[in-house]
Amino acid sequence: MKKVEKVLAFDMGGTKIASAFVEVDGSGYKLSGYKRNPTPKKQADIIDIFVELIGEYRSEYDFDRIGIAIAGQINKEGDTIIYTPNIAMARNFKLGKTIEQKTGFPVSLRNDVRCFAFGEDRFGKFKGHENAVYIAVGTGLGGAIKINGEFFFGKDNIAGEFGHMIIEVGGEQCHCGRKGCWERYVAGPGVEKLYEKAYGREKCAKDIVYDAVRGVEKDRAIMLKASYYFAVGFSNVVNVLDPEIAIIGGSMVKEKKLLRLAMPLIKKEVLPSAKKVKVFNASLGDKAFLLGAAL
């Protein structure tokens, strides 16, 4: 009989905390009780919402441990958020330790794009490649790297911070403290800034993407510009790592037509030897983050 792992999984980003009860066995998974809550602005309030949600799930589901995907850098022990540019008050935040103390459950924190990669690599349509890169674009931009069948984390557990490559010297100010970071031109807030600069008014990234793929001229122009910046950063990643496959996910690229808009620019930017890289939209959507947190 296959052993079934029962895990309460969370995915916390700059704007939302998603959660679900996850059952995983050797060949499949089941998600139940999905919830979505806004991310609070204070550490104490974040702790409170986690404890409250854990109590709610505990009354309905039997789980053994808790896994949390975080948009940021996590320490090697997997219990503390070292830094996350899109959750300003979460620097050196002992989230895992505190939740363990308050609930009694073992808690593991992981970078959210690593979780996305683990989920896609285990259960996705394009699983099983030896050399792959995973890129997620939402409020920020992050990545994960798989080399010769193994995920690569780096000396300090922060490998894959693709979003903080400089692609525009002296460019837009990033929350990380530098200027011209890749994510400032292709992630949600960056696309909103491009739109505001071009047209003198605000528009949310979700609506810009929606209208762009449906042919609205102004929005399409902005997404073509963002796609160019995406192609520049993406080509840097591919030219350095030479993967077989690249999986692109996150809230900014849910519209599959958006990747088609960027592909001609991507093919133009990568080295001739890297043009054979296969580029696909993620197949699991937001589920990948929760699945990876549970693994």
Please give the residue that has the higher pLDDT: either 26 or 151.
151
Q: Is the pLDDT of residue 106 over 90?
A: yes
283 vs 261, residue with greater confidence: 283
pLDDT band at 291, cuts 50/70/90? very high
Neighbours of 103 (CB within 10 A): 16
User: 92 falls in which pLDDT band (50, 70, 90)?
Assistant: confident
Instruction: Output the CA torsion 47→52→55→60 (10° steps).
Output: -130
Mean pLDDT of the residues in the chain? 91
The pLDDT of 119-139, averaged and rounded, is: 93
Q: Tens of pLDDT along 224-282?
A: 999 999 999 998 999 899 999 999 998 888 877 777 777 888 778 777 767 788 999 99
pLDDT > 60? residue 223? yes
Separation CA 243–CA 117 (nearest Å): 14
Locate the domains of the chain by residue range. 5-115+288-294, 128-282
Give the CATH class of 5-115+288-294. alpha beta
User: Which whole number is the average pLDDT over 10-16?
Assistant: 89
Architecture of the domain defined by 128-282: 2-Layer Sandwich (3.30)
pLDDT in the model for residue 1: 53
pLDDT given at position 226 = 93
Burial class (CB in 10 A: 0-12, 13-18, 19+), 26: exposed
Domains 5-115+288-294 and 128-282 share a fold: yes
| pLDDT of 273 | 67
Signed CA dihedral, 294, 283, 225, 245: sign only: positive
The confidence score (pLDDT) of residue 88 equals 65
Q: Nearest Cα to 162, choosing from 179, 139, 137?
A: 137
pLDDT of 32: 97
Which pLDDT does position 266 carry in this prediction? 79
Do residues 140 and 183 lie in contact, with contact meaning Cβ atoms separated by under 8 Å? yes
Dihedral of alpha carbons 83, 172, 116, 135, sign = negative
pLDDT for 65: 97
CA distances 125 to 128, 149, 205, 282, Å, are 9, 17, 27, 8
Cα separation, 108 vs 134, in Å, equals 21
Least confident of 24-28, 146-150, 151-155: 24-28
Query: Quick one: average pLDDT of 71-76?
Result: 88
